[in-house]
Chain A
Amino acid sequence: MSLVLSEEQELIQQAASEFLKEQTPITHLREMRDSEDPVGFSKALWKEMAELGWAGIPFSEDVGGAGLGLAELGVIVEECGRTLSPYPFLSSVVLAGGAIALGGSEAQKQEILTGLCKGETLLALAFQETGRFSPWAIGTKAEKAGDGFRISGEKLFVLDGHVADHLVVAARTSGSSGEENGITLFLVDPSTQGCTVTRSSMIDSRNAARVALSDVTVTSSAVLGEVDRGAEILNAVFDRATAILSAEMVGIISEVFERTVTYLKEREQFGVRIGTFQALKHRAAEMFCEVELAQAVVLDALRALDEDRPHASRVVSAAKARCSDAASLITCEGLQMHGGIGMTDEEDIGLFLKRAKTAELSFGDAAFHRDRFARLTGF
């Protein structure tokens, strides 16, 4: 597939750009933050986005989805990156929704994905237990109990966990922490006895939660996919999430870069516009190259996953490493070039810095993905 947008993708991009600039400019995130909104985004707006077909983009038509790919979803999420829109594409659509689409039974898909596509059901994937991304470091235990399972453990950084109607919980049915085998995915209703969800306050003012599970019992119909083989689903889901998060980062770095170049052209010091200084010119030109490289590799990563290419995971790692490094460079440079004003809460650049850092450290930072790339290439 080509690295330029198709006509359909361009239409999606236009619609997303207009809608998000209108409905969720950065002031929207600020309002949610300053009012300590208990949800963190507007459920009504999410319903509107779903009605535009966005929540169902990657799902099949029989559950109400659009049957499109990550390439199309990436176009929307990139625009979310430009406006810092805190909507649950990653948590509900890609992570938990993706796990259900890949591993769920027909009944599970009909029951949950239909509501997701309508914008009525919110989901979250509870897998992480350590700070640094380490996908198989799962100690949460699920033991056989009657005809079901009893789950105990604690999950961190569960994206949108505080508002999820259903949790997908990764727990260990065999093996020990660090092993890829022995993980099972369960659908858990967060209101079940023993399940406590506490919202975390994060630098990006977005939504994550801590989920404590204390002898939470579920029936065997809550198993997603096969017992002990949850990692197969998670591997695919993490690849998709990593690529989609990279698309959001492309939106972030493009926006920060453009704002910074505009600032260099306008701001005057020492009697001249600061964009005349070669020290800043060269750094701006380097940032331009970083943005171009990130855009190209992310487009290819999304397409590689959609086409189920044999080495798609390699491109995904290249994309995430590139975006993580570029996001760090560009948001730090953007802030530096904005000078003192960049340090103020009033200026948006700091909000981009915080969101970029969150994205950088999620689903593996640049070093994690260089290691993964090396392994996948055989060295």
Chain B
Amino acid sequence: MPDASLEAFRSELVEWLEANCPASLRPGATSTKEDRDSWQQVYIERGYTMPTWPREYGGGGLSKDEARVLSHEMGRFANWVPVASFFGTSMLGPVLLEFGNEEQKKEHLPKIVSCEIQWCQGYSEPGAGSDLASLQTRAVRDGDKYIINGSKIWTTGANNADWIFCLTRTDPDAAKHDGISFILFDLRQPGVTISPIQLISGASEFCQVFFQDVKAEARNLVGTLNGGWTIAKRLLQHERAMLSGGTGGGGERPQAKKGPVPAPTSALAEAARAHLGEKQGQLADYPLRDRIAQNEMDALCFGLTLKRSGEQAKAGQGPGPATSMFKLYASELNKRRSEILMSVRGAAALGWSGDEFTPLDIMETRGWLRSKGNSIEGGTSEVQLNVIAKRVLGLPD
């Protein structure tokens, strides 16, 4: 149903894009750094890195429908779209909008939109693993500051981050979940030590972070003192939703009924064709073909489930299945996909480095190793199953 005001927004937007998007960023062109920088500047000024956030916090102030139009037109118009750090946009931002006070929103949200501050997440601690609430990092009030001591682990991107949103224990005598506070502080200060962690895949985006008498401004405590667990849980929901977004197969795209229909393709099947060859027009290895078909269908079903859940939410039919299901399924699906890809490539999958392996081979092999972390990070698959059992199915403790 074409909506008149939405169409007006679209034509204004297209006009603006025509006027502002540099030629080198249009499809088919090769972009230059200067153009990307200037385009990013213009884009940020409109609040378009976070189009649905309110304008007073630096966002675009668009409705969800307008944001969809923006995303569609940008995809059509430019081959490079500026994005803000996802820890700021996908996790801290929504939590600040819900729980932050006016001063905190005004101070932090615009700098997320403008990509000025890179955030990281201080949740997991050494020895605690999935048991997030068993954290030991202490924050002790001292005048208008908190003094923080302890250590966080699996801190994604800490070595490139400016600030951290951190779970700290502010009442060691309270029950496990009741003495935790959610505090924001600057990572670029004395007393912070950041050590990258090497993974089985060779590289890593994870760090361990140590705090020794590190200072946080008391005004950067979000929500209530010792009430941080509520915020932590809400943030985890945003995290799960984010982690499950990228790996689904998606529903079929709408296609015109007339005219030649391009055959559906499967990247996994393409890889298999290259490595295994064909027999009578079908992948030569029947058992692998079966596993590939299974994985492709699972991805299709998962994409449709995400789509349905979104539509249910839009139609006001409750929250749909918990985001835990999406996190769980996206992780397991991606791991299985990586396993199949390894089988398909055989010995070519076993290279670690060196000229006899293509860069793609090595990337995919390391991707397989890295995928093992999918069902551990952001809450293990077992934690997600517990959440579903308890919160969705209401099974007893």
A residues with CB within 8 A of B:
2-4, 261, 264-265, 273, 275-276, 278, 281-282, 284-286, 288-289, 292-297, 299-300, 304, 308-311, 314-315, 317-318, 321-322, 367, 370-371, 373-379
Say yes or no: A3 contacts B304, CB within 8 Å. Answer: yes
Contact with A297, one of B264, B289, B304 (Cβ below 8 angstroms):
B304
CA distance A376 to B292 in the complex (A): 13
Q: How far is the CB of A318 from chain B (nearest CB, A)?
A: 4
CA distance A318 to B265 in the complex (A): 15
B residues with CB within 8 A of A:
251-252, 255, 257, 261, 263-266, 269, 272-273, 282-283, 289-290, 292-294, 296-298, 300-302, 304-305, 307-308, 311-312, 315, 317, 321, 325, 328-329, 382, 384-386, 388-390, 392-397
Contact with A276, one of B252, B325, B397 (Cβ below 8 angstroms):
B397
CA distance A314 to B303 in the complex (A): 14
Say yes or no: A261 contacts B395, CB within 8 Å. Answer: yes
Q: How far is the CB of A282 from chain B (nearest CB, A)?
A: 4
Contact with A292, one of B282, B311, B321, B389 (Cβ below 8 angstroms):
B321
Q: How far is the CB of A13 from chain B (nearest CB, A)?
A: 13
CB closest chain-B residue, reference A318: B297
Given known pairs A310-B255, A318-B297, A377-B269, the reply for A292 and B283 (CB within 8 Å) is: no
Say yes or no: B261 contacts A373, CB within 8 Å. Answer: no
CB closest chain-A residue, reference B256: A310
Q: Interface on chain B toward A: helix, strand, loop, or mixed SS?
A: helix
Contact with B307, one of A296, A318, A321, A378 (Cβ below 8 angstroms):
A296
Contact with B296, one of A4, A273, A377 (Cβ below 8 angstroms):
A377
CB closest chain-A residue, reference B300: A318
Question: Which residues of the other chain, B, contact A371 by a CB distance below 8 angstroms?
Answer: 289-290, 293
Question: Which residues of the other chain, A, contact B328 by a CB distance below 8 angstroms?
Answer: 285, 289
Say yes or no: B290 contacts A370, CB within 8 Å. Answer: yes
Contact with B396, one of A3, A265, A294, A374 (Cβ below 8 angstroms):
A265
The contact sample of 13 A-B pairs, CB cut-off 8 A, is A2-B315, A3-B312, A265-B396, A276-B395, A285-B389, A289-B325, A294-B301, A297-B301, A297-B304, A299-B308, A309-B252, A321-B294, A322-B298
Contact with A2, one of B311, B325, B388 (Cβ below 8 angstroms):
B311
Say yes or no: B293 contacts A296, CB within 8 Å. Answer: no
Say yes or no: A284 contacts B393, CB within 8 Å. Answer: yes
CB closest chain-B residue, reference A320: B297
Q: How far is the CB of B278 from chain A (nearest CB, A)?
A: 8
CA distance A41 to B294 in the complex (A): 37
Q: How far is the CB of A255 from chain B (nearest CB, A)?
A: 15
Given known pairs A300-B251, A311-B264, A321-B297, the reply for A379 and B283 (CB within 8 Å) is: yes
Task: Across the A-B interface, give the 7 residue pairs with the lowest CB-CB distance, nearest first.
Answer: A379-B269, A281-B389, A285-B388, A3-B308, A370-B293, A296-B304, A310-B261
Say yes or no: B312 contacts A379, CB within 8 Å. Answer: no
